[in-house]
Structure 1
């Protein structure tokens, strides 16, 4: 057993089983938020590395073993998160934890067979959450291909509101325009809530002047996003076809969604047996057995003419090179999946189009749950997204009780700096708030902020 280096923080007692990509991302973020973390894994070297970096306890062993869970302190734990590579092991870890301890449990489950039974498994095993990173990554990619102007599309308020990220191109109407002018003369149905320029991220006020090359995130009711993008000079037609390289779980989930949206799909996969599986699972897709990194094959299959290109191989470097090649030879909307590489500064300069990180999607959903569990008073966290390399958070709170933030005009609230109340969902109606609007009990409220670790709607006040 590897001992903690410092005193236990005031937070939840959390046991994480598995210290792969998602496990280590969770350790990094949850330890930063002050939780007391124990990690279990069979790989002693991986545990030592994490224990040296963060103030955590590590146990080498099988996370589904009763005695190992007892040693990890399951009887006093608030939460067990199982994120090993095996779905079955994750479910077994959670089942044992629920029997032995009085804690919540979260399992990562990726197999399509199980993903259709998520509701049943969650209820029968008493789990707080079952999360599928490949399915979530595919959903994100599908949203982007539906609105290809966007670099990112995140949804809030049960899909009623969207946060869209895009880059201002040369000669665009927004170049040189202030945020206030946009609201007064073009539309006040959207809110520009974060802008990245020259490596810096700003939560802009009305006098902020936008410029070519800025990367903007805006919030709008879902039905308004297209009309706003069209009003500022962007094409918003969804793509008609997609070429996907790699035939893994993400590719299957994405193809399924695109076909449902009426988009033609072609998958190139090197493994013949997997191609045969996919052709049965996805009868409406074209499945090509071949090496997706072969330039001649890509030309033959029409890379020059495809409207979208999604690199979903299991190797990040391959995905990056494929994307750069697709951008060079076609006008396709490109999406790159990156699982492991952490050189975000380098990646951001490569112009890879939209980048999807399954491990961050997984960790965000779990962190939102942890923050909601830590705070069970006036409000609850519905969704949480990290933006601009985790320098900005977008958090959706459900307001359950009256408090210092309710029934007062926003202009009269002492809000923290670098924080915006971006939208209010009131009984399914999306409000882009002005200074005169107020937050009411029953609303869900979306906050965009550079502050970390907000757990309660009252945290928005100075």
Structure 2
């Protein structure tokens, strides 16, 4: 066992141990260290640990994260949280179990195997875990939401699924073009709010006076029912796709296909490995499983890529997924969703106009960071949901309002807020409220804010 220690300053953040220095672990170290937490990373891979401890202000330990000796070296007794994201589900669960027995810390385990996917609540409860998270399942859910509403580039959910924030590109023929937001959203029949505009490299948290231009990427928040009415009003297609073609038969494909089949969407998977293709045929009898090379253009043509309504490349290789997406956009009008695991070339990928791009590691890290912020702020308001928006240039945060404060029981027009911030939605007893200046925040509400600021822990942080 070796320990690599970078210079650490005194922080007011949490003491967090991350076990596993892979893609998700590295992303967590990067984002949590930026938020001022004391991070210890544990992994058997010396190169990864040295790289992370050298790049960020973190303590690195080489060893088995499930070992009591290793955890004691990481000072687990004083830890606030242990996050286990190694490549093994069983090791992750064991890491958390050991930590819970020797420390009062919270514990989060990444569990990916389909065998456990139906048992996550049981595991969480019996092992006293704060969270059990499955990146492939979460990615599949996000992809499914986009296939249910193919106009959208991205769909983020708030208020326990009752509200959606939908991101879409404005075509030049849209009636939105050259129209003020006050006119677009001010209609009494429009129950929603445009809460973000991306224009070139700029992110705008808009006011009613801002104007929508052709080519803008707009984010609109509303209740799930009203969001479809809004899109339909402005000429966007709102029906779900009828069929989809998936390349690659991994875990994410399995989870996605189960969801699509249950929603009545015909699904075809092209899988190169004959044994995996046979396994998927047994696991997913209602889907069409093709044993062939999904990266072969002739195979794709033969299987009907030109006519399919949606296409999702889910191979384990980012380059293949990107190339398949570019090919599909050339030969078909399908809704295309691209899964990308690595983020080093995110700017290049965004410049390719791939449409909807899914980053599973960000989905995982956002859920964990939301929990970390809520754990850090143990009194008052707590974070329910957190999304990094507009290529991480803004955040969408949903707060649970637990007690009275300077924000409650007074009209929003009388509250002085930070610039670059918008109160986008209030959820009260199951009802979605798009707030005006006369509305008030009350104890028990969930409040969604969109902001270019980062690191908010409490809803009071929005005050100027």
Q: Under a length normalisation based on structure 2, what TM-score does the superposition of the two structures give?
A: 0.99
* In structure 2, C-alpha distance between the alignment counterparts of 1:393 and 1:262, rounded to whole Å: 34
Match of 1:2, SS? strand
Match of 1:248 in 2: 250
Matched residue of 2:108: which SS? strand
Structure 2 residue runs of 5 or longer lacking an equivalent are none
* Structure 1 residue runs of 4 or more that deviate by more than 3 Å after TM superposition: 185-188
Q: How does 1:117-266 map to 2 (within 5 A)?
A: 117-185=119-187, 187-266=189-268
**Is 1:431 aligned with 2:394?**
no
1:318 aligns with 2:342: no
Conserved? CA contact 2:143–2:337, under 8 Å: yes
Q: For 1:452, what is the secondary structure of its paired residue?
A: coil
Report if aligned partners of 2:185, 2:194 keep a CA contact under 8 Å in 1.
Answer: no
Map of 1:5 onto structure 2: 7
Give the C-alpha shift of residue 43 in structure 1: 0.8
Secondary structure of 1:416's partner?
coil
Pairwise CA distance, 1:147:
0.3
- The answer to whether residue 460 in structure 2 is matched with residue 458 in structure 1 is yes
Query: What CA distance in whole angstroms lies between the structure 2 residues aligned with 1:370 and 1:304?
Result: 45
**TM-aligned CA deviation for residue 186 of structure 1:** 7.3
8 A Cα contact 2:166 2:221, kept in partner: yes
1:402 aligns with 2:404: yes
Structure 2 counterpart of 1:115: 117
1:373 aligned residue: 375
**More divergent stretch after superposition (47-56 vs 303-312):** 47-56
Could you tell me how far apart the structure 2 residues matched to 1:405 and 1:263 are? 45
1:410/1:437 contact within 8 Å kept: yes
Match of 1:44 among 28, 36, 46: 46
Distance 2:151 2:188 in 1: 19
SS class of match (1:317): helix
Which whole-Å CA distance do the structure 2 matches of 1:289 and 1:296 have between them? Answer: 14
State yes or no: 1:440 paired with 2:453. Answer: no
Q: CA RMSD in A?
A: 0.8
Measured in 2, the distance between the counterparts of 1:383 and 1:9 equals: 24
Q: How many angstroms does 1:188 deviate by?
A: 3.7
Pair 226,188 (structure 1): closer, same or farther in 2 beyond 3 Å: closer
Q: Per-residue CA shift, 1:197-233, capped at 9, x if unaligned?
A: 0111110111111101100111001111111001011
Is the CA contact (8 Å cut-off) linking 1:266 and 1:286 kept in structure 2?
A: yes
Per-residue Cα deviation, 1:225-268 (whole angstroms, up to 9, x for no partner): 11100101111111000000000000000000000000000000
Q: Hey, what's the Cα distance between the residues in 1 that align with 2:36 and 2:374? A: 14
Q: What is the Cα deviation at residue 183 of structure 1?
A: 2.2
Aligned equivalents of 1:279 and 1:180: distance in 2? 52
Q: d(CA) in 1 for partners of 2:57 and 2:156?
A: 32
Which residue matches 2:80? Answer: 78
Q: Aligned partners of 2:148 and 2:185: how far apart in 1?
A: 26
CA deviation after TM superposition for structure 1 residue 343, in Å? 1.3
Instruction: Check whether the contact 1:186–1:231 (CA below 8 A) recurs between aligned residues.
Output: no
1:28: which partner in 2?
30
The offset of 1:376, in angstroms, is 1.3
Tell me how far 1:185 sits from its aligned partner: 3.9
SS in 2 for 1:255: helix
Displacement of 1:187: 4.5
Alpha-carbon distance, 1:6 to partner: 2.6
SS in structure 2 of the partner of residue 175 of structure 1 = coil
Aligned residue number for residue 345 of structure 2: 343
In structure 2, what is the Cα distance between the partners aligned to 1:385 and 1:10?
23
1:405 Cα deviation from its structure 2 partner: 0.4
Q: Which residue of 1 aligns with 2:89?
A: 87
1:344 Cα deviation from its structure 2 partner = 1.5
CA distance in 2 between partners of 1:316 and 1:344 (Å): 11
**Once the 2 structures are TM-superposed, how far is the Cα of residue 386 of structure 1 from its aligned partner?**
0.7
Query: Structure 1 regions of 5+ residues with no counterpart?
Result: none
State the partner residue of 1:384: 386
CA distance in 1, matches of 2:114, 2:424: 35
Q: CA deviation at 1:190?
A: 1.0
Structure 1 equivalent of residue 290 of structure 2: 288
| In 2, Cα distance between equivalents of 1:388 and 1:258 | 27
Q: CA offsets, 1:147-185, max 9 Å, x none? A: 000001111111111000000012111111111111234
Shift of 1:377: 1.2
Shift of 1:389: 1.1
Q: 1:134 to 1:255 in 2, by over 3 A?
A: same
Alpha-carbon deviations, 1:359-391, whole Å to 9, x = none? 000000000000000001111111111111111
Per-residue deviation, residues 262-300 of structure 1 (Å, max 9, x unmatched): 000000000111111111110000000011100000000
Matched, 1:267 2:269: yes
Secondary structure of 1:218's counterpart equals strand
CA distance in 2, matches of 1:442, 1:341: 38
